[in-house]
Structure 1
Amino acid sequence: MEGASLGLHHYQSNTQDNLQPSKVLVTTFKDKTEVAKNIFHVNSAKDLIDQSLAQQTGCVLDRLLKYNTDFMEYIDVDMNEEELKDLDRYHIFLSTQGTQVECVEANQNQAQPHTEGAGGQWETEPSASEACQSGPLEKCQGENDGVHRFDAANLVVLINNKAPSVLAEYEKSGTLSLASRKLLVRTGVSDLVERRGFYPSNADKLMLAKSITTIFPSLKIKIQEANEGFEHFYDPVSHCGFIELKLRNLRRNLHEDQRRYRKRGKSSEASGVAITLQAISEGEEESAKDWITATKRIRPSPENLTSIKMGMQKTFNNRRFWISSQSPTVEEILQEYPRFVDMPYLIDAEFARMFPGKEDLFLRKWEGHIVPKLLKVATLENENDPSEPSVGEEIDESRCFRALKLLTRYLPPTASGRSKGWTKCSVKSALSYILEVKPTGTSIPSLLQGSLEAAAGAAGVHQPKLVCIGHPSTTAQYIIVARNDKVAIPLQDEGLTCALDKLFKMLWVCNVAYPVQLESVYSFFEHVYDMPISGAKRSKVLELIAKLQALV
Structure 2
Amino acid sequence: ESSVQSSCTDTLSLSSFSSDSELSVLSPKRRRIDETTMMSPRRDQNDDASFQAKELVEKLLQTKPGGEKILKEYRQTREVKDPLRRKLVNMVVSAMIEQYGTAPPMDVRTRYALGIVTLFPCLKDPYSEKGYEHFFDSKSNEGYIAWKLKNMQRELHGGRRRSSTSRDPSSNRGPQFGRPVNAEHQLEGDLCREAISLLRHSTDESQIFLKMEQTFKHRQELIQDSEKCETILSVFPRFLDTKGLVVQDFQMMFGEEVSSKLMEKWGTSLKVKVIKEANNLTKTPVLESLIQSAEESPEGNDESTWDSDMAALLLLVYLLPPPPGGKKRPVKITVREALSHVVRFHKSCRNLQETTSSVQGRQPYILAVGTTRCTINDYYIVVDGQLIPCKAKSSISAFDKLFKAHYVFGISYDQALHNMYTFVQTTIYNIDVGLCHESPRVKDLRAKLLN
**Bin for the TM-score computed over the shorter chain:** 0.7 to 0.9
Matched, 1:491 2:393: no
CA contact (8 A) 1:401 1:472 kept: no
SS at match of 2:387: strand
Which amino acid counterpart does residue 134 of structure 2 have in structure 1?
Answer: H
SS at match of 1:412: coil
Q: Out of 404, 417, 433, which is 2:313 matched to?
A: 404
2: distance between equivalents of 1:367 and 1:478?
A: 20
Percent sequence identity over aligned pairs:
26
Relative to the length of structure 1, the TM-score reads 0.64
**TM-superposition CA deviations, 1:341-384 (whole Å, max 9, x none):** 11231110100000112111111112332211111223455757
Which amino acid counterpart does residue 414 of structure 1 have in structure 2?
Answer: P
2: distance between equivalents of 1:154 and 1:186?
A: 15
**TM-superposition CA deviations, 1:81-126 (whole Å, max 9, x none):** xxxxxxxxxxxxxxxxxxxxxxxxxxxxxxxxxxxxxxxxxxxxxx
1:83-232 → structure 2 map (5 Å cutoff): 143=49, 151-161=53-63, 162=65, 163-223=67-127, 227-232=129-134
Q: Aligned residue for 1:359?
A: 259
Matched, 1:429 2:332: no
CA contact (8 A) 1:411 1:521 kept: yes
Q: Out of 297, 306, 316, which is 2:206 matched to?
A: 306
CA contact (8 A) 2:143 2:440 kept: yes
Matched, 1:548 2:439: no
Q: Aligned residue for 1:443?
A: 351
1: distance between equivalents of 2:420 and 2:221?
A: 28
CA contact (8 A) 1:141 1:214 kept: no
Q: Aligned residue for 2:288?
A: 385
Q: Aligned residue for 1:519?
A: 418
Task: Say what the alpha-carbon RMSD is for the aligned residues.
Answer: 3.2
Shift of 1:264: 5.7
Cα 1:425–1:325 change in 2 (3 A) is: same
Bigger mean CA offset, 392-401 vs 353-362: 392-401
CA contact (8 A) 1:177 1:381 kept: no
2: distance between equivalents of 1:337 and 1:287?
A: 15
Which amino acid counterpart does residue 446 of structure 1 have in structure 2?
Answer: E
2: distance between equivalents of 1:436 and 1:283?
A: 38
Matched, 1:475 2:371: no
Q: Out of 215, 223, 227, which is 1:315 matched to?
A: 215
Relative to the length of structure 2, the TM-score reads 0.77
Which amino acid counterpart does residue 321 of structure 1 have in structure 2?
Answer: E
SS at match of 2:115: helix
**TM-superposition CA deviations, 1:519-542 (whole Å, max 9, x none):** 000001102111125765521011
2: distance between equivalents of 1:346 and 1:462?
A: 19
1: distance between equivalents of 2:143 and 2:215?
A: 43
Cα 1:278–1:531 change in 2 (3 A) is: closer
1: distance between equivalents of 2:54 and 2:308?
A: 40
Cα 1:436–1:285 change in 2 (3 A) is: same
Bigger mean CA offset, 158-167 vs 234-243: 158-167
Q: Out of 502, 505, 520, which is 2:401 matched to?
A: 502
Cα 1:214–1:493 change in 2 (3 A) is: closer
Cα 1:327–1:532 change in 2 (3 A) is: farther
2: distance between equivalents of 1:417 and 1:222?
A: 31
After superposing on structure 2, the runs of 4+ consecutive aligned residues of structure 1 that deviate more than 6 Å are 278-283, 394-397
2: distance between equivalents of 1:319 and 1:280?
A: 14
Shift of 1:296: 1.3
Q: Aligned residue for 1:237?
A: 139
Cα 1:423–1:440 change in 2 (3 A) is: farther
Which amino acid counterpart does residue 506 of structure 1 have in structure 2?
Answer: A
CA contact (8 A) 2:141 2:165 kept: no
Higher RCO (CA < 8 A, seq sep 6+): 2
Shift of 1:228: 1.4
Cα 1:235–1:193 change in 2 (3 A) is: same
Q: Out of 344, 365, 368, which is 1:465 matched to?
A: 365
1: distance between equivalents of 2:289 and 2:335?
A: 19
Shift of 1:479: 2.0
CA contact (8 A) 1:348 1:502 kept: yes
Cα 1:354–1:462 change in 2 (3 A) is: closer
1: distance between equivalents of 2:374 and 2:76?
A: 34
The count of residues paired between Structure 1 and Structure 2 equals 387
SS at match of 2:367: strand
CA contact (8 A) 1:507 1:513 kept: yes
CA contact (8 A) 1:462 1:515 kept: no
Matched, 1:250 2:152: yes
2: distance between equivalents of 1:311 and 1:174?
A: 54
Which amino acid counterpart does residue 545 of structure 1 have in structure 2?
Answer: R
1: distance between equivalents of 2:436 and 2:173?
A: 7
Shift of 1:291: 1.1
Cα 1:281–1:406 change in 2 (3 A) is: closer
2: distance between equivalents of 1:386 and 1:290?
A: 52
2: distance between equivalents of 1:476 and 1:282?
A: 37
SS at match of 1:238: coil
Which amino acid counterpart does residue 444 of structure 2 have in structure 1?
Answer: E
SS at match of 1:433: coil
Matched, 1:270 2:172: yes
1: distance between equivalents of 2:281 and 2:412?
A: 32
Cα 1:491–1:213 change in 2 (3 A) is: same
Which amino acid counterpart does residue 191 of structure 1 have in structure 2?
Answer: A
Q: Out of 411, 421, 432, which is 1:532 matched to?
A: 432
CA contact (8 A) 2:325 2:331 kept: no
SS at match of 1:429: helix
Long gaps (5+) in structure 1: 1-139
Which amino acid counterpart does residue 547 of structure 1 have in structure 2?
Answer: K
2: distance between equivalents of 1:322 and 1:545?
A: 34
Which amino acid counterpart does residue 204 of structure 1 have in structure 2?
Answer: V
CA contact (8 A) 1:401 1:496 kept: yes
